[in-house]
Chains A and B, each alone.
Chain A
Amino acid sequence: GAVVSQHPSRVICKSGTSVKIECRSLDFQATTMFWYRQFPKQSLMLMATSNEGSKATYEQGVEKDKFLINHASLTLSTLTVTSAHPEDSSFYICSAPGTVWGVGINRDEQFFGPGTRLTVL
């Protein structure tokens, strides 16, 4: 099946530093990837849609200059949290849409990465 990986799985950094998170589709190509953020005991909030070869589309209220997204290839999207602060501490999850092929029936599905736990001190 389709696999999405994320790296790193966990990162701790000092306030003011920048952190890059990678999202890879391992066995399929993804022209679109999604980045979510999840605070404790809250739901996934879509931050942005990453588009291969073009600019990302950010959701309302998400600062595009703070959360830089680069989708340079069909299998890799990166999210850089610039000048991170403690309030940016969260669980960041990416996903990529793909097709699950079945006998007579195919369906489209989002495949999620395992997530990256960011802690900013």
Chain B
Amino acid sequence: QKEVEQNSGPLSVPEGAIASLNCTYSDRGSQSFFWYRQYSGKSPELIMFIYSNGDKEDGRFTAQLNKASQYVSLLIRDSQPSDSATYLCAVNESGGSNYKLTFGKGTLLTVNP
């Protein structure tokens, strides 16, 4: 069974610090990796996607992918209280539709003012 694992947290960081979120996946054939942010009571919103090994930066967010280790991470620099949310790692299902995603359980991040 394909699995996506995340530390459930909560992860608590002070405002301005770097928040580091980690995710591992079991399907070695997975090709696409996504980080979603979900506020309480809301649906997920995409904040980063990464397809290739290495780092990908977008503003304060950096996604890192290591396919050999089956590991993907998200770094949030200069964390803000508004970043407080649950972060979901999602991985596409290999061998099928590129759109079918498997989600991790999410990591709850709290940024303290």
Contact = CB atoms under 8 A, between A and B. Distances in A.
Given A32-B97, A34-B99, A110-B99, A44 B49 contact: no
A106 interface: no
Interface SS of chain B: loop
A35 interface: no
B89 to A, nearest CB: 9
Contact of A43 (B41, B46, B98, B103): B103
Interface in A18-72: 32, 34, 42-46, 49
Interface residues of B, number: 18
Interface residues of A, number: 20
A113 B45 CA distance: 10
B100 A46 contact: yes
Interface in B70-113: 88, 97-106
Interface string A72-86: 000000000000000
Contacts, number: 44
Interface string A100-121: 0000000111101111010000
Interface in B51-67: none
18 contacts: A32-B97, A34-B100, A43-B104, A43-B106, A44-B44, A44-B103, A46-B102, A49-B97, A93-B43, A97-B97, A97-B99, A108-B99, A109-B46, A110-B101, A112-B43, A112-B45, A113-B43, A115-B42
